[in-house]
Amino acid sequence: MNAPRVIDVRGLRYRYPDGTLALDGVDFHLCAGECVALFGANGSGKTTFALHLNGLLVGEGSVRVCGVPLAASVSAGDLALVRSKVGLVFQDSDDQLFLPTVLEDVAFGPANLGLTPEEAAARAKVALEQTGMAGALHRAPYHLSSGEKRRVALAGVLAMQPEVLVLDEPTTALDPPGQRDLIALLRTLPQAKLLVTHDTSFAAALATRAVFFERGRVAGEGGLPEIVNRFHWSR
């Protein structure tokens, strides 16, 4: 039996307010438990696409997340539901870290789900343990290194216990040991994963399928080695 689709996108188009066409008829799906790499040059639409998966942007076409449709008319309740199901780790960790301490930052999402302060803190501590940042509970995020910030940002997403993880350039600012640790962690996580990356070695360690974006469209998809070779995409 095929796994259910947790992300199902059909004919997605998006034009920025200045008139730039960023997505031009994207079809894509992600199944439960699957890990897919999303490749493409800078400006090809990868990050714009990722922002549609939890409603930060809404374009034309069909986007369904865990069966919930996302459209311009989406209700506040459905939008909140989608955002609890899709954890997005931004390329720039500073876009996600804003509270005085690491613990407060990671507990912020669970608290917004309605957990008590004690429950949110407990879930945050588990996520920080997972990402190797348990020793930073009371540190200020702005005192962390870039790699440490990335781990804390990931912990903040994991604390929400989403069904889908979307990671935008997850190896940015991580040294080789940090990358190995991240691969080991992601392998243990049951969520479906979309890796938006230029790093083919990192992707090959986790993904079995790859999608290549070009000028806002899906130019090809298939097995990861096939796509890397077809588009001469390696790093």
Q: What is the mean pLDDT of residues 143-148?
A: 88
Instruction: Tell me the per-residue pLDDT of 166-198, one tens digit each, with 9 for 90 and over.
Output: 999 988 878 888 888 889 989 999 999 999 999
Give the integer Cα–Cα distance in Å for 119 and 30: 31
Q: What is the pTM of this model?
A: 0.91
Domains assigned to the chain: 5-230 (3.40.50.300)
So what's the pLDDT on residue 175?
A: 85
Contact between 58 and 231 under an 8 Å Cβ cutoff? The reply is no
Q: Is the pLDDT of residue 94 over 60?
A: yes
Q: What is the mean pLDDT of residues 116-127?
A: 95
**pLDDT band, residue 23 (cuts 50/70/90):** very high
Length reported for the chain = 235
Q: How far is CA 153 from CA 133, 146, 218, in A?
A: 11, 11, 28
So what's the pLDDT on residue 235?
A: 61
